[in-house]
Structure 1
């Protein structure tokens, strides 16, 4: 449905990992505007670099751990990752500016979490006819508050984090009950089945690789899914945890409620998630903060998508249209991935409502253009 295929390539450490913050920054400074237009280059000024280059977090994270990928991959869009949850405070001088720029906000005053009352959502199936929406998904990212992010994690950390996660997942009941499949030691038969189901993730992203996202691959990583395969958890892919609720058709109410129930059960089991006042939930990449919530549908809209004002139509509604295989991919058969654009500065319930209203407007416009 939405997931990536799993690969077996590992990430190896090299001489680039030994480069100091100064050496990395020098590369960034030398890059021309045509070579590099990342948010890192824009906001990591000489003055900020000097103020941050010798700082260290309680997880022993340093500035070079945050900027390595963006200084090596000069074509990065963001260019900076957080080495651990505390990095958002220790290196706030640059990270706060990147966050405000990326999320298009003037100040960092994200509200407290609020999923709303799922018994009184006021919405259910967005496409009762079943003619337009192919599938619906809602996902969020979460980080254990007691562990750093990939740049500072040891192999032992990854193994222990996986154990903590699986222990919590095994407490899930009802339609959330399922099984965990570790990537390490996975049989060829299971790997083929999960790949055919499009459930497994890979280690192919060069930006994440340079940020140490794939160290010790595939140790400490795996996937959990419920018996009906409508609730999934990715463990140690990019973020510590990715919770995903999905199903065929357009019943956003069911998908959202399932996700909220899962998060509530897991928190009761003892999982504690990293947060910062004003930023909400913290993850590895500053592009995914606050609610970290992305609600989306795969929807058939060939008429609307063919209009010259399609992007402007979506922008006005704070929704984003992408190809069905993610950002920078093309539509297949007139089917697009439509999701909420904003994740920071509003509650979880407000984010899913923004997506709902946007999808309803898209459906109305498509029907109008089709003469229905």
Structure 2
């Protein structure tokens, strides 16, 4: 596949609306950090060493291509900044990899559920993204690929400490598992701070939509394990599974309470947001994300009808600054992006609404 295929304004495979508990858990991610024995880590290697590592890993990964999992390989330094930004917005690469100029690359599977980041903070980061709550499934897929690559690549491993990584917090299993959750009711009822404090006590960390250092956008949070040393992969995954199930229960409880006590207020809030998305001429990223969050919650609660979740998923990707400019085909100033973003969202939501009306008319005629 060429790069344009992965830059299209569509929701990637990991944002399928049919995932388990997809109304709250948007996606599950498992990431394995690995380095090659005998090579200095990316923080200190030379350009020549970086190229050697890059060549070894990409060759090993491409050799595994088959009908089930087929990788396309792209060199980061050859991508314009806008294309890198779009891949970050689709969670296919990290913000750190997007800034790399030394020999670095990304290999992406055709369905966009697996990506391999080469020469980011570590030599190799295996990332698996699946829709909904699928922690064990995502790990199984990543672990299978990891085992296949380890047969060809000499991983840096220590009997006492486990897999060796650039950052000490990743030493051991090298495993980071996370869930991306939409938690508007906990946020609206001001319970999210209590949840965050509880997670910290359990060794979990809460981050924004793009991970470390990013902001909460549209009431979307990433929850992941903080420790990789001293626990087995199974224990880390089980802890995250149990925590996620509890947060889902809390969010559902908060939604029921809001619906019971403030239904009219919610109906007004949700429909105002839908109206804004369908008719506004200027929308910032933050306002569009907040409106999408409200509409999504309205759909989940059954208050808003006729707006499929997969359309809202596409809009969530579409509102990002990089995607807006990619769609426009040119670099835009902030105010120009706000105007174009509003146009894209109007077209997306009103076009779908029009198609639903046409289908209704066809059924009525029959």
Report deviation, 1:337: 0.8
Instruction: Give the match for residue 325 of structure 1.
Output: 210
Instruction: Give the match for residue 279 of structure 1.
Output: 161
Report deviation, 1:247: 2.6
- 1:165-314 correspondence to structure 2 within 5 Å: 165-172=57-64, 173-186=66-79, 194=87, 197-202=90-95, 218-268=101-151, 270-305=152-187, 306-307=190-191, 308-314=193-199
Is the 2:25–2:133 contact (alpha carbons within 8 Å) kept by the matching residues of 1? Answer: yes
Give the TM-score normalised by structure 2: 0.58
Q: 1:327 to 1:219 in 2, by over 3 A?
A: closer
Report deviation, 1:200: 4.0
Instruction: Give the match for residue 31 of structure 2.
Output: 139
Report deviation, 1:353: 1.2
Report deviation, 1:162: 0.9
Instruction: Give the match for residue 223 of structure 2.
Output: 338
Partners of 1:276 and 1:304 lie apart in 2 by 42
Is the 1:126–1:251 contact (alpha carbons within 8 Å) kept by the matching residues of 2? Answer: no
Count of matched residue pairs: 237
Partners of 1:188 and 1:126 lie apart in 2 by 33
Is the 1:175–1:226 contact (alpha carbons within 8 Å) kept by the matching residues of 2? Answer: no
Give the 3-state SS of the residue equivalent to 2:251 in structure 1.
Answer: helix
Q: Which sections of structure 1, spanning at least 5 residues, go unmatched?
A: 1-124, 206-213
Structure with more contact order per residue of length (Cα contacts < 8 Å, sep ≥ 6): 1
Q: 1:198 to 1:244 in 2, by over 3 A?
A: closer
**What CA RMSD, in Å, does the superposition of the two structures yield over aligned residues?**
2.9
Q: 1:350 to 1:198 in 2, by over 3 A?
A: closer
Q: Per residue, is there more helix in 1 or in 2?
A: 2
Partners of 2:74 and 2:239 lie apart in 1 by 34
Instruction: Give the match for residue 369 of structure 1.
Output: 254
Q: 1:130 to 1:183 in 2, by over 3 A?
A: closer
Give the TM-score normalised by structure 1: 0.57
Q: 1:126 to 1:224 in 2, by over 3 A?
A: same
Report deviation, 1:313: 2.1
Q: Does residue 355 of structure 1 match 2:263?
A: no
Q: 1:350 to 1:336 in 2, by over 3 A?
A: same
Is the 1:303–1:366 contact (alpha carbons within 8 Å) kept by the matching residues of 2? Answer: yes
Q: Which sections of structure 2, spanning at least 5 residues, go unmatched?
A: 1-16, 258-366
Give the 3-state SS of the residue equivalent to 2:229 in structure 1.
Answer: coil
Q: 1:130 to 1:187 in 2, by over 3 A?
A: closer
Partners of 1:188 and 1:369 lie apart in 2 by 41
